Amino acid sequence: MQTGTYKLLKDSFFIGNRKLVIKKRKKKTSKPELYLIQLSPFEYVSSLFPVPTTSPGEEFTFDFQNRLYALRKIKNQVEVVELGETPEP
């Protein structure tokens, strides 16, 4: 996944020609409340795991294709940062 800062429109943003959307689960489960999907073609990306932070905005981690990323929402922007390889279970 390409990293960088992107304009957030409601709960969606574009990385190149890929539209990504932050969705909220309809039913409560043991999974995190929020998750990330890609539209056209549809692809489930990952659950968004909340990270407690003192900085403004909301921060999450997620994994995609065996890589770990941080996603930070601040006002009308979202920042995606690669954290490294996903640890083996």
List, for residues 3-42, the tens digit of each pLDDT value: 999 999 999 999 999 999 999 999 988 999 999 999 988 9
Is residue 68 classed exposed, middle or buried when 0-12, 13-18 and 19+ CB atoms within 10 A define those classes?
Answer: middle
For residue 80, which of 15, 11, 12 has the smallest C-alpha distance? 15
Length of the chain as a residue count:
89
pLDDT tens string 54-75: 666 789 999 999 899 999 998 8
- The pLDDT of residue 85 is 76
- The pLDDT of residue 84 is 82
Q: Can you give the pTM of this predicted structure? A: 0.86
